[in-house]
Amino acid sequence: MEMTSPHLTPRPSQLIAEALVERQDPRQIVDRATDLGLSPKLVETIVAACCSATVVAPHPPTIDLAPLGWPVETDSPSPGR
């Protein structure tokens, strides 16, 4: 998407709007969000919001952020705890 000024940074809401209008898949959303420097938790939330708006699923979709080098939160305790 062309921006009107090179000094403007897109907001997460703009990323969400573009993803919905352009029917982007999760990988496209993650790539764009990563380029914008958004936090892993925000990226996960955006992907869930965009994908659950286009796909009817019992649970929000998840995406593996580990290949991007981001820390991945788990619900289970680490070994040795």
Residue 31 lies in a domain: yes
Residue 58 lies in a domain: yes
What does each C-alpha distance from 78 to 14, 56, 59, 73, 81 come to in angstroms? 37, 33, 25, 11, 6
What average pLDDT does the segment 24-29 reach? 92
Q: Which helix (H) or strand (E) holds 69?
A: none
Nearest-CA neighbor of 46 among 7, 10, 76, 8?
A: 10
Residue 24 lies in a domain: yes
Q: Which two tokens stand for residue 41?
A: 């938790």
Whole domain around residue 44: which residue ranges?
Answer: 12-68
Alpha-carbon distance of 15 to 33, in angstroms, equals: 7
Q: What is the pLDDT of residues 46-63, one digit of tens each?
A: 998 888 755 554 555 566
What average pLDDT does the segment 7-18 reach? 81
Number of domains in the chain: 1
pLDDT class of 11 with cuts at 50, 70, 90? confident
Q: What is the pLDDT of residues 31-43, one digit of tens each?
A: 999 998 899 999 9
pLDDT class of 29 with cuts at 50, 70, 90? very high
Determine the pLDDT at residue 28: 93
